[in-house]
Chains A and B, each alone.
Chain A
Amino acid sequence: MRSDLSFDPDLLRRYDRPGPRYTSYPTAPQFSEAFGEAAFRDAARRSNAEPIPRRLSLYAHIPFCFSPCFYCGCNRVITRDRSRAGTYLARLVREIARVAPLFDRDREVIQLHLGGGTPNFLDAGQLEELLDSLGQHFHFSAAPSRDFSIELDPRCVGPRDVAALARMGFNRASLGVQDFDPKVQDAVNRVQSVAETMAVIDACRTSGFRSVNVDLIYGLPGQHREGFARTLDIVTGVRPDRLAIYSYAHLPRMFRAQRQIDETLLPAPEDKLGLLRLAIEKLSEAGYRYIGMDHFALPDDELSQAQEKGGLHRNFMGYTTHAESDLVGLGVSAISHVGDTYSQNPRDLPAWEAAVDAGRLPVWRGMRLDADDLVRADAIQQLMCSGAIDVAAIEVRHGIEFGSYFGTAFDHLASLQADGLVEVDAAAIRATSRGRLLLRIIAACFDRYLHEPAEAPVRFSKAI
């Protein structure tokens, strides 16, 4: 994908409409409770039967946070009671012991991610217990290219913890920063100093972590150009290998925590776009490349390299250089992607706990993709990873005639084409430099469910 990006405020404004982010296609609202434990077992069995079974990626969700960040839309439980970590971990270990044997032993784990919540709500000893359990029940790859990553909250992790994590095998860290502006930090209830953040980044590097990612958010209450510019300068100054710049989606009806946000402090749409523009300019100046969907990376980072060679993939954990793997999600609300299925654990803690205590696999809902879902998922995945859909590749893989199959999609694409977001020819559908910030809008053209009357209205955050 070309890494050039052009910023067209008029276009971005017009297309700033709600739409899914396509971490999966079909998206989670399509999952059904008809897909349960038996279907998950069957999916695992089928995935083992492939001639070359896919390698495994593991995701473990740690839902606890010490205090609520008001912008957060993640599944989490706010508590200061550290004893909850131990009881949660005990159940998580039981889930691991039950799920792992469903997958053949020679299927190596090449990717592991701990997310939350706050994974380091678990102390170093507990994290080690978790890794031991995972390593005992699954078969960890010994290859240096394996990616073992963890989200770190710099407010509650110290350099010694980081060194311990490196010894456990973690080699990638992702740090939440959002904005260093004290007024913004106040408004979102996340006060985090530059010094403690830098100390963690330094510790990651000296401990041998291969890569550090920093998350920023634009559109937060009280955010303004000068403050955000300072944050961007500080962050690019320490040159994290990867950066994510997320748009804050204010959906207080969906996310309780966001009701704490003073709406009068939210930047006007114009100003929010200005913050995005500022971020793109600053990152380009600092030499970062746009990977796609909010993500940037330094040119020598594996993601940038993979993007050039066409070896970029994307799953629920984000962009990755690893070829498609089966994803096993563990813990409350975690999502799995095994073979042609998606499935999700219960989103609320008591339901997940009850399932584990009852000796069941905690599968709450899911779906098996049909042939049509698979064609569309492939097209959307290509768009998200390379900014283009290779028509011939889709035709060969799925045995379809692209033009006639996607007649309706072309109808939806027409206006995007007229606006210069996409170029369409016989060989490819390609996002233009102006369309690359609106990949999800282009992807939506290929989403069958979005254009069918939904049984209940589904709420998605806006594009930018």
Chain B
Amino acid sequence: MTGFARRASPIADDGDALSFCSTCAFSSACLAHGYDKSALADLHVLVEHVGPYAEGDRLFREGDPFTAIAAVRAGTVKTCVIDHAGNEQVLGFHLPGEIIGLSAISNARYPCDAVALDTVMLCRFSFPQLALLATRMPGLQAQLFRLLSQDIGKAALLSGDHSADARMAAFLVSLSRRHAARGFSASRFHLTMGRTDIANYLRLAAETVSRVLRRFQDDGLIAVDRRELDILDMPRLQELGRVVLRE
């Protein structure tokens, strides 16, 4: 199966040839460099809005031929691999405005699965065409490199030997910053990923995730109501996560 081909839908509502979706991963590249109408139109033509995907849908599978990267337009995407014993390993969560598929560039095949955690909409970019356009748009090229390096940096986040508290704090701080970067609230957001996925990603047991969160809550760092999370004391949370965030 070719990535993201399912349930293609015509170009949607909130982006057109002149203005990009508010969450577009490339909008900053274009707007900041003052590209004119025709350049914007060039990029926009490459964009195919696909979705919606339902919770649990696979957007691509490990080994699928790589043809496109995609920006998450709505919802959350989990990337994961299945190890030899058949166990899932969560590699990351991708929020609106973030890119999936970058790690496929080197091998021409997707090295992992991508799964919709809720209702997901994507902006799909044909990679060959995007690369071609980047040669004409330095801003776009710079943005691509930035995204690639961020992707590598995120993967490194959890490779160290850190305490459960530090991992969890870093995870929450990271989510907060990523929400804020797209103009959403930094202190109150919905945890779209289930606790098993969070546990798997942080290499913790599910009950440890809950125990640490409950303790954070008792200590006045956060408030949790179902899947709604309020960050009440960001400085202390940052301090706890500092070793993981490497600040």
Contact = CB atoms under 8 A, between A and B. Distances in A.
Q: Do A and B belong to a common assembly?
A: yes
B196 A52 contact: no
A202 interface: no
Contacts of A51: 191, 195, 198, 209-210, 213, 224, 227, 229
Interface string A31-60: 000000000000000001111110000000
B207 interface: yes
B207 A48 contact: no
A397 B195 contact: no
B206 interface: yes
A105 to B, nearest CB: 8
B213 A104 contact: no
Interface in B169-226: 191, 194-196, 198, 206-207, 209-210, 213-214, 217, 224-226
Contacts of A50: 194-195, 226-227
A49, A51, A52, A397 pick with most chain B CB within 10 angstroms: A51
A49, A53, A106, A397 pick with most chain B CB within 10 angstroms: A49
B194 A49 contact: yes
A397 B198 CA distance: 24
Interface string A86-130: 000000000000000000101000000000000000000000000
A53 B225 contact: no
Contacts of B224: 51-52
A397 B207 contact: no
B226 A106 contact: no
A50 B213 CA distance: 11
A53 to B, nearest CB: 6
Interface of A is mostly: loop
Contacts of B227: 50-51
Contacts of B196: 48-49
Nearest to B222: A51
Interface in B221-247: 224-227, 229
Interface in A39-83: 48-53
Contacts of B195: 48-51, 53
A339 B194 CA distance: 14
Contact of B206 (A106, A339, A397): A106
Sorting the interface of chain B by its residue count into under 10, 10 to 19, 20 to 34 or 35 or more gives 10 to 19
B104 to A, nearest CB: 28
Interface residues of A, number: 10
A106 B191 CA distance: 20
B210 A52 contact: yes
A52 B213 contact: yes
Contacts of A339: 226
Nearest to B228: A397
Contacts of B210: 51-53, 106
A76 B196 CA distance: 41
Nearest to A49: B194
A52 B229 CA distance: 11
B220 to A, nearest CB: 15
Contacts of A106: 206-207, 210
A339 B227 CA distance: 11
A48, A50, A53, A106 pick with most chain B CB within 10 angstroms: A50
Nearest to B229: A51
B232 to A, nearest CB: 14
Nearest to A339: B226
Contacts of A52: 210, 213-214, 217, 224
A48 B209 CA distance: 12
A54 to B, nearest CB: 8
A397 B194 CA distance: 20
Nearest to A104: B206
B73 to A, nearest CB: 21
A48 B198 CA distance: 13
B93 to A, nearest CB: 13
Contacts of A397: 225
Nearest to B208: A106
Nearest to B188: A396
A48 B226 CA distance: 11
A118 B224 CA distance: 39
Contacts of B229: 51
A50 B209 CA distance: 10
A397 B213 CA distance: 20
Nearest to A374: B226
Interface string B76-97: 0000000000000000000000
A6 B217 CA distance: 40
B53 to A, nearest CB: 18
Nearest to B225: A397
Contacts of B194: 48-50
Contacts of A48: 194-196
Interface in B133-178: none
A106 B211 CA distance: 10
A117 to B, nearest CB: 33
A106 B213 CA distance: 14
29 contacts: A48-B194, A48-B195, A48-B196, A49-B194, A49-B195, A49-B196, A50-B194, A50-B195, A50-B226, A50-B227, A51-B191, A51-B195, A51-B209, A51-B210, A51-B213, A51-B224, A51-B227, A52-B210, A52-B213, A52-B214, A52-B217, A53-B195, A53-B210, A104-B206, A104-B207, A106-B207, A106-B210, A339-B226, A397-B225
Interface of A: 48-53, 104, 106, 339, 397
For the complex of A and B, 4 pairs with smallest distance between CB atoms: A49-B194, A106-B207, A52-B210, A52-B213
Interface of B: 191, 194-196, 198, 206-207, 209-210, 213-214, 217, 224-227, 229
Given A50-B227, A51-B229, A339-B226, 8 more contacts: A49-B194, A50-B194, A50-B195, A51-B209, A51-B213, A52-B213, A52-B217, A106-B206
